[in-house]
Amino acid sequence: MPNIQSLREKLDLLPDLCNEQMWPKVVDLEVNFPVDRTQLDQAIKTYGPWLAGAAAIGFLSGYMRSLAPYYEYIVLVCLAVGAWAFLQIRPHLKQWSEQSRRRREEESKLTQWIREELMKFLDPEFQFNSQPEFPKEVYTTCGLFPSSYDRAAAYGALAGMISQTQFNLVEISTHKKQTHKDSRGRTTVTWELIYRGLLFKADFNKNFNSHTLVQVERAQGRLGFLARGIQRLRGAQSELQRVKMESPEFEKVFKVTSTDPIEARYKLTPAFMEHFLGLRNKYGDGVELVFMNQQAIISIPHQKSFLPLYFNLKDLTQSLQSAAEELVDVLEIIEDLELDNRAWNRSSVQQKGA
């Protein structure tokens, strides 16, 4: 079972993995599925002017009917020349299109294989899904987002264990449909971004039954008027109460509400608040948190694609190392927030007391 230190040690060995296992696959791809435009470019260079000239003369002759008594014949000749030129180019275009299609298919298979091998390299127990389902239940019930949306997507998910702590990481986005009509009655549809980023879910090793939200004070301004109404409604239904925290610095940034203020203070220790402020400094002002169902769920706004683990086959080692390092940085949240600290688990405390 890995911890962050062991994962970082493995990252140092990633160049060897690339050189020994991954680069040979890339070389095979280049050899077995080449895409060669040489013949197509030569055909376009040779017959393209004929095709363009026939099209231009045929087009211009339409404006010169009165000056061209043999207009119909000119058009027929232009069509014949254009068809002849296109037929000379077409086989090369078809060959290049087929090569490109096969190359894309094989590249897709190879990149998926590389992602899977990377995850096995980091930890054989890691489970990576490049096409996960959108986590609708978590999104709509956690309280960090408006429950109403018109379009949602999930781009990648990773699950596993770090230091005996189960985690799940998924990249998502949600949009709301906006329909506008102009003065002429024409309808325009736009998609307003509600959220794009990472949902990081991990077991929280303190026993609790409450629902606790840690939100940026200005978060409601980000969500807009509709979201504010939804948040107030959800708060009233779940009887969330504002919780006074011990850290003035933490309270300047975050608003804490909970169904059980005592449990909220039990979970949000001074050390935890300090670590969470550090997490905010690391990932930006939009980082928020909810405790529910014995888990800590952290929202990290992230505009760039992340979990698809994009990398460049031509610069495989460096780009893959960069993607892997960014992934390990996110997983470090478990240790940054001491979610792996089992000393605070109530059952552990009771056992020690006995």
DSSP annotation of 217:
T
Reference 348, options 340, 268, 166; nearest CA is 340
Which domain-ending residue is among 121, 153, 183? 121
How far is residue 176's CA from residue 170's CA, in Å, rounded to a whole number? 20
The answer on pLDDT for 229 being more than 80 is no
In a domain? residue 18: no
pLDDT of residue 66: 55
In a domain? residue 1: no
Domain hosting residue 68, numbered range? 33-121
| Mean of all residue pLDDT scores within the chain | 84
Q: Are residues 238 and 340 in the same domain?
A: yes
Among the residue ranges 70-79, 132-141, 340-349, the one predicted with the least confidence is 340-349
Q: Average pLDDT in the 287-309 region?
A: 86
Q: Are residues 112 and 168 in the same domain?
A: no
The count of domains in the chain is 2
Give the global pTM. 0.76
Q: Are residues 131 and 99 in the same domain?
A: no
Report yes or no: 299 and 144 within 8 Å, Cβ to Cβ.
yes
How far is residue 4's CA from residue 123's CA, in Å, rounded to a whole number? 11
Q: Are residues 240 and 259 in the same domain?
A: yes
The answer on pLDDT for 41 being more than 90 is yes
pLDDT of residue 307: 67
The answer on pLDDT for 235 being more than 60 is no
The answer on pLDDT for 61 being more than 80 is no
The strand ranges marked E within the chain are 127-129, 151-162, 165-181, 187-203, 212-216, 241-242, 254-258, 288-292, 295-301
pLDDT of residue 59: 74
Tokens of 287: 């980082």
The residue ranking higher by pLDDT, 34 or 233, is: 34
